[in-house]
Amino acid sequence: MNSTSKPMGTVSDAPKGNWVDRFAPDRAKPYLRMSRLDRPIGYWLLFWPCAMSLALVAIATDTAFNIWFVVLFLIGAIAMRGAGCTFNDIVDRDIDDKVERTRSRPIPSGQVSVRQAAAWLVLQALVGLAVLVQFNGFAIVVGLSSLGFVAIYPFMKRITYWPQLFLGLAFSWGALMGWAAVDGALGLAPVLLYFGAIAWTIGYDTVYALQDIEDDALIGVKSTALLVGARVVGFVALFYGLAMALWLAAGLLAGGGWGLVALVVPATMLGWQVARLDPADRGRALFLFKFNRFVGLAMTLALLVAAWIG
């Protein structure tokens, strides 16, 4: 941080008492905050489609769930979610300065310059690349193919009411990666898993967008939450239902049998979210959004049950 930077403070939408605020060195805090390491929900939501895909391919190939790949995907998710958030903050620095929830972020608050943020972005991307090259050549190509969606996502809120779709296209890529890393190819089952993850992302990120709906309307930023307005509960229910239907189809196509009844657990968790959703309650919207890390875990475990039962 240079001498002209503003004093470092906590980011307004970070959990109170998070480990970055409490334990990280002062010089590192702005960079860790740009990577959202004070808010781990993002990398869990990026990671779970990878784990789901590894469980799905275990059904199809009748092989063990690859724990080493789980570790690699988790490291990659942390690094690439951090890189994506840093890129997003660089692109959105002028917008973030106008939104109450985001104006305390490191770039708009003056804690980090754009050049420093860019250097941090490159460093995180290199970590992600180091993870990617541990996989087979086909998986490497698949992984690199996601970068186009990552690059365009921050701009979508300026031109379409469906930025959540583009987030889904990028954030769900792990649903293809896990299968590709094990099988060295792709098939319809992981593609259906991917489409289901996109629908899931549209649902949970619409819930997340409810927090900023008033500021977004004032400054002209678009979202599905603004698009559907009072119909948001039905909209989220539609996409959560579509996600479960596609995930069930992926499991059946991969060869899952009666064990797929375990999918009733993540389905119930998504239904509970819909029942609890109140568009006017920002705190509840954030809680329900974060609850999806448990949905991802439940979905992965359900597919593992199906793989175990055979």
Cα 262 from Cα 251, distance rounded (Å): 11
**Predicted confidence (pLDDT) at residue 13 exceeds the cutoff of 80:** no
pLDDT band at residue 3, thresholds of 50, 70 and 90? very low
DSSP states of 277-306:
--TT-HHHHHHHHHHHHHHHHHHHHHHHHH
Whether the CB-CB separation of 213 and 226 falls below 8 Å is answered with yes
Cα 240 from Cα 198, distance rounded (Å): 10
Cα 29 from Cα 23, distance rounded (Å): 9
Task: Domain 26-309: state its class.
Answer: mainly alpha
Residue type, 244: M
Q: Which pLDDT does position 181 carry in this prediction?
A: 97
Whether the CB-CB separation of 220 and 262 falls below 8 Å is answered with no
Whether the CB-CB separation of 31 and 55 falls below 8 Å is answered with no
In our burial notation (b when 16+ CB lie closer than 10 A, e otherwise), range 232-245 reads bbebbbbbbbbbbe
Kindly report which listed range (95-104, 143-152, 221-230) carries the lowest average pLDDT score: 95-104
| Residue 156 DSSP SS3 | helix
Per-residue pLDDT reduced to its tens digit, 228-279: 999 999 999 999 999 999 999 999 999 999 999 999 999 999 999 999 999 9
pLDDT band at residue 147, thresholds of 50, 70 and 90? very high
Chain-centre distance of CA 136, in angstroms? 24
DSSP category for residue 8: P
Q: Establish how many alpha carbons lie within 13 A of residue 133's alpha carbon, considering only the half-sphere containing its beta carbon.
A: 5
**Predicted confidence (pLDDT) at residue 97 exceeds the cutoff of 70:** yes
DSSP states of 176-198:
HHHHHHHHSS--HHHHHHHHHHH
**Predicted confidence (pLDDT) at residue 2 exceeds the cutoff of 50:** no
Task: Compute the C-alpha angle 102/103/108, nearest 5°.
Answer: 115
Report the percent of the chain where pLDDT is more than 70.
95
Task: Show Cβ contacts of residue 295 under 8 Å, excluding neighbours closer than 6 positions.
Answer: 48, 200, 266, 269, 270
Cα 52 from Cα 58, distance rounded (Å): 10
For residues 148-164, average pLDDT: 93
